[in-house]
Structure 1
Amino acid sequence: MAGIDDWKDSLDELARRRTHSRAMGGDERLAKHRGKGKLDARARIERLLDHGTFREFGTLVGGDIAADGIVTGSGLVNGSPVMVGAEDFTTLAGSIGPGGNAKRYRLAELALRDRVPLVMLLEGAGFRPSGEHYGRTPTDLLAQAQCSGKVPTVSGLFGPSAGHGALVAPVCDWTIMTSQGAIFTAGPPVVKESTGEEISKEDLGGPSVALASGVIHNLGEDDVAVLDDIRTYLSYFPSSAWSYPAARPADDSARRRPTPELLDIVPRGNRRIYDMRAVLDIVFDTSDWFEVQPRFGPAIICALAHLGGHPVAVVANQPRVLAGSIDADAADKAAHFITVADSFHLPIVFLADNPGMLPGSRSERQGVLRSGARMFAAQTTATTVKLHVTLRKAYGFGSMVMSLLGFDQQSATFAYPGATMGAMSAAALSRASHATEDIEARLRQAEVDASFRSAGHLGFDDLIDPEETRDALLDALERAIYCRQAAAEPVSRTVITP
């Protein structure tokens, strides 16, 4: 009869190999890594996941190269399953070998098969130099691309990420970086060899560069902050496009309530500046809503919030930046955000207060019309619940990209009394047409009367007192989500992105 003695040699060998893999790059390299204020790859996974839920696979891949430089497995975040991979910089700089490539592919394959989010924790040097030819071995990016729009994909950058590994980040829905992170096509040594340029990794692809370019969405001070933000971000999303976002249990913050504070926050005059963030603080359940990409295209605020306990995506003009005019960066940011929100069935709340797309030679050189068309394509083809409020103004194409116009599949459209809209402002039209003082006065009066005239022809579902903003949106949302009477499924997109 078999007993423990029969198994001893095999189990001892398994334990030895597991111990080697879990030792990563060894004590010296781990100490150096932690001395920079960083967590190691396994500690990052433990911090990200609910305590004690990690189940590793591919532990023995790589043989003498511990886990082949990447730790992979599954676990729970906020009680829901995810697939997670963490590059181990202490093992050959987290570079990718044949085994690591297979593990990365398997991660994405399982995420899509099991319909759970994919989280990649990056700090690696890309494919490691090797005389071995990979041939037709499938790359992980193929599997990751197949996940797009089907399961949430998230990446965190904790140090330098170059080459193939760096491509994981922009292919994800959302990416966050620590202050020690950097991302680039190739690192400084390769740049010097290829072009002769001498540059530091910070100046090549550090936070200031990656945030300004829009490659990275958010910044966290350190590893812990980034991992906590990943948990927060995922809390707004369903596990996949085959399910709907889950509402929070009802509490006092989810109730209807008047918002008289908005009368003080939102000025009646169109030329006066205010902070749209203060509006979000009042309208949504709590003021701890989560902003996505705050340092890129700041003329539009993109945020995840709760309304009556329901997760929603918010797209709001920011009058403090460019008077709310929409520039190319803001439109590009919003287009991506709208597509992600729509893919995972988050209702979108549009808060409009803009004078239109940003004019001028610099804006035109940046391709503002192409970027605006991209945002328009994203929002007008969105199939999720759409709610709109014009607070003071929305002119020209700036109104269309903010889902103002009728027949755009909105569940509700509201405006404050006195809100102005049209092809352009009365002031701009007067200047363009060289209007007399009498005609200019009439144009300005017509502008003031525009909201009442539009509401009289059902251009809006209703004009609302600013005090009614939260309640009107919440009533509309709770009615609109009754459309979820069929099983959720991924969005089919037919538009060609401008």
Structure 2
Amino acid sequence: MLATDTTAADPAVRTASPPTARERLDELRLLKEEARDGTDPKATERQHARGKLTSRERIELLLDPGSFNEVEQLRRHRATGFGLEAKKPYTDGVITGWGTVEGRTVFVYAHDFRIFGGALGEAHATKIHKIMDMAIAAGAPLVSLNDGAGARIQEGVSALAGYGGIFQRNTKASGVIPQISVMLGPCAGGAAYSPALTDFVFMVRETSQMFITGPDVVKAVTGEEITQNGLGGADVHAETSGVAHFAYDDEETCIAEVRYLLAMLPQNNRENPPRAESSDPADRRSDVLLDLVPADGNRPYDMAKVIEEIVDDGDYLEVHERWARNIICALGRLDGQVVGIVANQPQTLAGVLDIEASEKAARFVQMCDAFNIPIITFLDVPGFLPGVDQEHGGIIRHGAKLLYAYCNATVPRISLILRKAYGGAYIVMDSQSIGADLTYAWPTNEIAVMGAEGAANVIFRRQIAEADDPDAMRARMVKEYKAELMHPYYAAERGLVDDVIDPRDTREVLAAALAMLRGKHADLPSRKHGNPPQ
């Protein structure tokens, strides 16, 4: 027999009518309210009790008011077993979408710790993959607001595969769009590698941590007892490991600084950073600069004060401020144009280059080059840090990273030698011989293979040893060496310095050089990619 349709004969079915459009809209509104507010008000209370904002509160702080457009708000997981089938919240624990920061498009995803502790499952990962693909296609920055407990163990290998998709997209987006990771909660295991692949990492003290293996595993394996913050807190990563570029006391300040950083960056690698009107005249002279740098090469000073005198309104954003303090990396503006600044810091280790300083500066130079940010280098470097630890730690390999980064950079590059510029460190710090477009020097500069005392001991070793008064002979030879090979104009006479300038005119000279180099175009040899030292 053929099956018959009995619905037409059923009066109850026949009289029922489908929901109206208004009824469907009411239903949709309730669903979106549930997706937005969650089903457990106590979860929000617990989040606030931890001193943490919710994911949506964070997005509201990051983006311009009313600009957020959410994607896949009603997405839910499809996993079964281990109780998951009974708990299928909307969003699946991650908010994704786009909005604007100062009117420019920014994509964002934010883990919602109230749902599964922000743990990543298959649907959760798929949402992140989608928003990352959208950011790459649209050519706009991507900000991740991280507050998750790692992979969702109930979903097994599907969750782990989700991380692989994120890492692959982080790598694909590297140097194409700015990627910023904001750590607002725990980040353990493989989850920590996504922030490590991005351009900048922000952390909040006390509430955010990052580590591959937690304190319990460390204790079980090594016997060492340590807290989560002691192992991977914001201060640890900002001062010791160098994983975090910025660390702040609260989420509001942290997110405000993310907005400030975004205002300095271009949308993608095909654009220049946004210019800003400056009320600070480009030709402003600074008499203070005459006295900031002592003529005595052994006396320290604060390079940060030099930078403040030169950039627009004394305002700049230092990157990795508390790690490798013997070198400064910062973003600022000069005549309204964003510039990257690399500068030796004589206040710390006399401004020498060591392993950490080389790594810090190399990564910063690469970031500037990727995103079309001109680089200005302030030199006062006595050399590389000597020592067994440095040599065994690979100072040759790490120093070569900075050398490679500068040699590979095609953005406008300007160097200014304030005082000492000795040996290989002088060459590495964007000297003219490795491709700096313009090199300037103050009259206090000393460019040489090494300091006069060391050079005299090598060159005049026999004369000093045979002299009746070795100390007097050494002093005379040091003076002679300085007079012949270390006077301020020696390098200029040989074309290694384009001009020796009045320190008071530094801002005007640099602004004019940047304006001239604005249209610079340089091509690298055709290749798949280089093989930089690791």
**TM-score where L is the length of structure 2:** 0.87
Matched, 1:58 2:84: no
Matched, 1:227 2:255: yes
Q: Is the 8 A contact 2:398 2:533 kept in 1?
A: no
Q: Is the 8 A contact 1:395 1:421 kept in 2?
A: yes
CA RMSD of aligned residues (A): 2.2
How much does 1:145 deviate?
Answer: 1.1
Q: Structure 1 residues 157 and 356, CA, compared in 2 at 3 Å: closer, same or farther?
A: same
User: Deviation per CA, 1:274-333, whole angstroms, max 9, x where unpaired?
Assistant: 100000110111222000001111110000000000000000000001111111111100
Residue number in structure 2 paired with 1:200: 227
Identity %: 32
Residue number in structure 1 paired with 2:403: 376
Q: Structure 1 residues 61 and 208, CA, compared in 2 at 3 Å: closer, same or farther?
A: same
Amino acid of the structure 2 residue aligned with 1:244: N
Give the whole-Å Cα distance in 1 for the aligned partners of 2:347 and 2:387. Answer: 19
> Matches of residues 168-187 of structure 1 in structure 2 within 5 Å?
168-179=194-205, 180-187=207-214
Q: Secondary structure at the match of 1:482?
A: coil
Q: Is the 8 A contact 1:158 1:223 kept in 2?
A: yes
Residue number in structure 2 paired with 1:444: 482
Aligned residues: 489
Give the whole-Å Cα distance in 1 for the aligned partners of 2:141 and 2:40. Answer: 31
Residue number in structure 2 paired with 1:37: 51
How much does 1:194 deviate?
Answer: 5.9
Residue number in structure 2 paired with 1:124: 148
Q: Is the 8 A contact 1:253 1:286 kept in 2?
A: yes
Q: Is the 8 A contact 1:411 1:476 kept in 2?
A: no
Amino acid of the structure 2 residue aligned with 1:233: L
* 1:238 aligns with one of 259, 262, 266: 266
Q: Secondary structure at the match of 1:494?
A: coil
User: Deviation per CA, 1:441-492, whole angstroms, max 9, x where unpaired?
Assistant: 311323442x312111211111111111111111100000022699xxxx98
Matched, 1:483 2:510: no
Structure 2: give runs of 5+ residues left out of the alignment: 1-16, 78-87, 465-472
Amino acid of the structure 1 residue aligned with 2:421: A
Residue number in structure 2 paired with 1:99: 123
* 2:500 aligns with one of 451, 463, 470: 463
Give the whole-Å Cα distance in 1 for the aligned partners of 2:331 and 2:57. Answer: 28
User: Deviation per CA, 1:94-130, whole angstroms, max 9, x where unpaired?
Assistant: 1001011101111211111100001001111111102
Q: Is the 8 A contact 2:111 2:145 kept in 1?
A: yes
Q: Is the 8 A contact 2:139 2:268 kept in 1?
A: yes
Matched, 1:148 2:148: no
**TM-score where L is the length of structure 1:** 0.93
User: Deviation per CA, 1:427-452, whole angstroms, max 9, x where unpaired?
Assistant: 12234453622433311323442x31
Amino acid of the structure 2 residue aligned with 1:415: A
User: Deviation per CA, 1:31-87, whole angstroms, max 9, x where unpaired?
Assistant: 121123221111000000011100010211225234111111100012100110111
Give the whole-Å Cα distance in 1 for the aligned partners of 2:529 and 2:203. Answer: 30
Amino acid of the structure 2 residue aligned with 1:115: G
Q: Is the 8 A contact 1:293 1:302 kept in 2?
A: yes
Give the whole-Å Cα distance in 1 for the aligned partners of 2:148 and 2:457. Answer: 56
Greater gyration radius? 2
How much does 1:187 deviate?
Answer: 3.0
User: Deviation per CA, 1:382-427, whole angstroms, max 9, x where unpaired?
Assistant: 0100011000011112112211233x33221101124111221111
Amino acid of the structure 2 residue aligned with 1:470: R
User: Deviation per CA, 1:317-364, whole angstroms, max 9, x where unpaired?
Assistant: 000011111111111000000000100000000000010111112322
Give the whole-Å Cα distance in 2 for the aligned partners of 1:34 and 1:10. Answer: 34
Amino acid of the structure 1 residue aligned with 2:511: L
How much does 1:167 deviate?
Answer: 1.6
Q: Structure 1 residues 147 and 133, CA, compared in 2 at 3 Å: closer, same or farther?
A: same
Q: Secondary structure at the match of 1:427?
A: helix
Q: Secondary structure at the match of 1:13?
A: helix
Matched, 1:266 2:303: no
Q: Which has the higher contact order (CA 8 A, sep 6+)?
A: 1
